Amino acid sequence: MGGSKSYGINCEQLDLSYLGLCKAPDHTAYYFLNEDHGLFTLPQEDFNRVREEYSHSRTKNLQTPLQVICKYNGLVMAEFKDDDNEVKIHYLAQDLLYPLDKLTVNFLVADEYEAAKERLRKLTKLCYGNRKRNIAILINPISGKQESYNIYKTKLRPMLKVTRMNYKVFKTDGPDFIDKWVSRLKFKQKTYEEREETLEEEDQESSLICEYTDIVVIGGDGLLSLYLNSCYKHHFFNTLIKIPILILPGGTGNALSMDLGGKNIFNLCIKFLRGETVKGDLIRADFMTSKISVLCTAFCWGFVSKVIEKSDSWRGCLGASRYTVCGAREVLCAGGPWSMRTHQLSKIQHNVSISEDICKVSSTQPLEEVKDQETDESDNLETSAVPIIEKHDIKSDRSCYTNSGSYKLIKEASMNGNMITRGEFDFNQEILQSQDNQNMERMSQLGAIIDQRDEVDWTNIDLSEISIMVLTTHECRRSGSKEVFAPFTRINDGKMFLCGFKECSKLEMLMMMAKVSTGKGNQVRMSKYFHQEVKQIRIHPNSETCFNVDGEVYDSDEVILTCLPGMINLFGEPYKIQ
Ligand SMILES: Nc1ncnc2c1ncn2[C@@H]1O[C@H](COP(=O)(O)OP(=O)(O)OP(=O)(O)O)[C@@H](O)[C@H]1O
């Protein structure tokens, strides 16, 4: 048994009625379960003294320290063997050296076993609820240091196994994988009971549920971005975007995962098991030409974009430090003396405008077109192109799906509170009939109204004195370092910020980069750093520069970027603002 810690517990906090008592296999210790403190233990010789102490103490302060095995939130799951009166408790050890540990206790008395079982069931239900989950795990094997699969195998999988959740694992085999995978997702209509739970959601699309209840992305920000953008193009974006996402840091930068507690993967997994989510902000990018996309991390151009583009070829040899090394090189190696102004390197010449208030903007491509292209393309795809590498199906229920790929749907309707019809109909036909309504609804929900692009009051920002500019909705931490770029904003604050460095010399630029890398947020106090909250910005690129959208390189094009507050559900918890 690893990782026990000793500390005294104030008896005022202990409700002894919640305590369970069981004997250790070697009869030398007693174990307690408590909703506030989790699982703790006491040597046998101390037990009677503590009980005495408790019953006589007026202050209810225990002098004898208890050994805490795991805090309440570290309790993962319990297994029961009725024949042997045995309980196996899986928990997170506190030293995290061997994080997932287990304790097996055999009860000598059947009644005690039954009582402990009851308490453990209650505790784990409090922890994880009763929600039936079917989890899709998407792994990018080439991202970052190629650790994604290992993260799954050593950290997430053990927890999923003991909690007996249904899950399927998919390994990406190239850049197109996610798009194909999303286009093949299956949906079914909510049952009568499921719809009862969400009475307010009565429209066609809200009554659908995806085959997966949770998505786990193990890779970098690029992989998450690919997933979100594939969802964005899907017919049922409104349904897909509600599916909560866990991002485990398998990539290089892992900015969003780091901001949600990804530094401690075990704690993040526990939050995932317990269903602890936050509403995250997204950015919608409307490009003048064909592409419409959503961003979850940052939109960069100029210097930053150039560094990210160049550093991609250094992926193999430098790993996570490629951005820092490449950034420093860009500043230092471009011609000219030390006093040279860095804006000459970055060549930011865009016009940027900020709208006065939250306004609706135009969509440059009718969404029907996007959707039709997708449908045509996905029809030609082979299902076998999506490799399932692992499947863990506790209670497989595929009765709703037919083998043909199109699937049947059991429709339940009610009249006077009773279910009166139960028939099957072709779901694809229904999709065709409802396409127009869905797209209008979806666009209005996203704040996109066609042909109002020029009705917005735009204010120009003078870029002549700016060296670096980034648009983001969260802190932008980096794994493998302490770096924090925008320490004043959080993924769930409903805000989007334009931030960066004003024109500075090479030396000042390097100093600023050094401040960012300490992670203390001191750059914010420097006069050359700026940040400004914006609802929407428009960029007119007038040079041959590229954009960087969540780490992926895009050709530059006129674009309007709009904040979509609270659009996604993400597992984890952002850092508290100091
Ligand atoms: N199997 C694969 N083979 C080749 N490329 C892939 C594969 N799977 C995904 N990709 C591509 O890998 C790119 C990078 O992915 P990802 O964001 O996961 O890692 P990263 O760039 O190392 O991390 P970060 O974005 O945090 O810096 C994406 O553009 C994606 O299209």
* Atom of ligand 1 minimally distant from the CA of 552: 29
Kindly report the length of the chain.
Answer: 578
Q: How many domains does the chain have?
A: 3
Domain span at residue 82 reads 5-128
The answer to whether 467 and 303 are in contact (CB under 8 A) is yes
Q: Is the CB of 175 under 6 A from ligand 1?
A: yes
Whether 173 is in the pocket of ligand 1, judged by its Cβ within 6 Å, is: yes
Average model confidence (pLDDT) across the chain: 69
Same-domain check for residues 425 and 478: no
Q: Do 435 and 555 reside in the same domain of the chain?
A: no
Position 67 scores a pLDDT of: 67
| Ligand 1 atom at minimum distance from 254 CA | 26
CB distance 95 to 101 below 8 Å:
no
Tell how strand 134-139 and strand 166-171 pair up.
parallel
**427 and 473 housed in the same domain:** no
Give yes or no for residue 172 CB within 6 A of ligand 1: yes
Instruction: Give CA–CA dist 366/224, Å, rounded.
Output: 25
The verdict on 196 and 68 lying in the same domain is no
* Least reliable range by pLDDT among 184-188, 280-284, 458-462: 458-462
242 vs 110, residue with greater confidence: 242
Ligand 1 contacts CB of residue 286 (under 6 A): no
pLDDT of residue 354: 58
Does residue 578 lie within any of the structural domains?
Answer: no
The arithmetic mean of pLDDT across residues 361-365, rounded, is 26
Residue whose CA is at the smallest distance from ligand 1 atom 2: 174
Q: Is the CB of 38 under 6 A from ligand 1?
A: no
Q: Judge whether residue 71 has pLDDT over 60.
A: yes
Residues 381 and 438 in one domain: yes
| pLDDT: which is higher, 159 or 574 | 574
Q: Is residue 256 part of a domain?
A: no
Task: Give residue 503's pLDDT.
Answer: 74
What's the gap in Å between 258 CA and the centre of ligand 1?
17
Residue 272 lies in a domain: no
Considering only residues 524 and 316, tell me which one the structure prediction assigns the higher pLDDT: 524
pLDDT, residue 519, reads 80
In a domain, 482, yes or no: yes
- Model pLDDT, residue 480: 76
Kindly report, residue by residue over 175-214, the tens digit of the pLDDT: 999 999 999 999 887 777 666 655 554 555 567 889 999 9
Q: Is the CB of 143 under 6 A from ligand 1?
A: yes
Residue 237 falls inside a structural domain: yes
251 Cα nearest atom in ligand 1: 23
Tell me, using a 6 A CB cutoff, whether residue 226 lines ligand 1.
Answer: yes
Tokens of 181: 């995978």
Q: What is the CATH number of the domain that holds 538?
A: 2.60.200.40
Domain's final residue, options 417, 445, 473? 445
CB-neighbour burial class of residue 304 (10 A; exposed 0-12, middle 13-18, buried 19+): buried
Q: Which of 70, 3, 8 is nearest to 39 (CA)?
A: 70
Substitution site in 138, 142, 389 for ligand 1 pocket (most atoms within 8 Å of beta carbon) = 142
Question: Distance between CA 422 and CA 459 in Å, rounded?
Answer: 57
Residue 480 Cβ < 6 Å to ligand 1: no
- The stretch 285-299 carries a mean pLDDT of 84
Sorted by sequence, the CB contacts under 8 Å of residue 45 that are 6+ apart come out as none
**In sequence order, which residues have a C-beta less than 8 Å from that of residue 5 and are 6 or more positions away?**
67, 68, 94
Taking phi over 0 as left and psi of -120 to 50 as alpha, with beta for the rest, 521 belongs to left
pLDDT exceeds cutoff 90 at 457: no
State whether 37 and 74 are in the same domain.
yes
Q: Could you tell me the two tokens for 226?
A: 């690919």
Question: Among 426, 445, 464, which residue terminates a domain?
Answer: 445
Q: State the helix-helix crossing angle for 367-379 and 221-233, rounded to 10 degrees.
A: 100
Question: Does the residue 70 lie in any domain?
Answer: yes
Mark residue 87 as left, alpha or beta (left: phi above 0; alpha: psi -120 to 50; beta: remaining).
Answer: beta
Rounded to 5°, angle at Cα 220 from 217 and 221: 95
154 with 213, same domain: the answer is yes
Tell me which residue has its CA closest to atom 5 in ligand 1: 174
Tens digit of pLDDT for each residue in 531-552?
Answer: 888 888 888 776 666 788 887 7
pLDDT at 112: 73
Q: Which of 138, 139, 140 to mutate to test the pocket of ligand 1 (most atoms within 8 A of CB)?
A: 140
- Mean pLDDT along residues 519-530: 82
Whether 461 and 532 share a structural domain: yes
Q: With beta carbons less than 8 A apart as the criterion, state whether 82 and 279 touch.
A: no
Check whether 425 has a pLDDT greater than 80.
no
* ipTM summary value: 0.95
**Are 533 and 488 found together in one domain?**
yes
Domain final position from 445, 465, 483: 445
In a domain? residue 292: no
Give me the pLDDT at residue 220, please.
92
On whether both 517 and 543 belong to a single domain, the answer is yes
Cα 219 to averaged position of ligand 1 atoms, centre (Å): 7
Question: Could you tell me the distance, in angstroms and rounded to a whole number, from the CA of residue 385 to the centre of ligand 1?
Answer: 18
Among 227, 135, 221, 214, smallest CA distance to 172 is for: 227
Percent over 90 (pLDDT), the chain: 19
| Residues 243, 146 share a domain | yes
Check pocket membership of 551 for ligand 1, CB cut-off 6 A: yes
- Separation CA 27–CA 467 (nearest Å): 69
The CATH number of the domain where 84 resides is what?
Answer: 2.30.29.30
Q: Are residues 422 and 408 part of one domain?
A: yes
**pLDDT recorded at residue 198:** 55
| Whether the CB of 262 sits within 6 Å of ligand 1 | no
Query: 178 or 457, which is more confident?
Result: 178
Q: Is the CB of 252 under 6 A from ligand 1?
A: yes
Which distant-in-sequence residues (6+ apart) come within 8 Å of 402 by Cβ? 408
Q: Domain with 381 in it: what CATH number? A: 3.40.50.10330
Whether residue 327 has its Cβ less than 6 Å from ligand 1: no
Q: Is residue 431 part of a domain?
A: yes
**For residues 576 and 505, is the Cβ–Cβ distance under 8 A?**
no
| Ligand 1 pocket test target in 223, 252, 304, 389 with most atoms within 8 Å of CB | 223
- For tokens 């420093």, the residue is 328
Model pLDDT for residues 467-493, shown as the tens digit of each residue: 778 899 998 988 877 888 899 899 999
314 CA from centroid of ligand 1 (Å):
14
For residue range 81-94, what is the model confidence (pLDDT) as tens digits? 888 888 888 877 65
Residue 173 is predicted with a pLDDT of: 92
Backbone angles phi, psi at 516, to 5 degrees: -60, -40
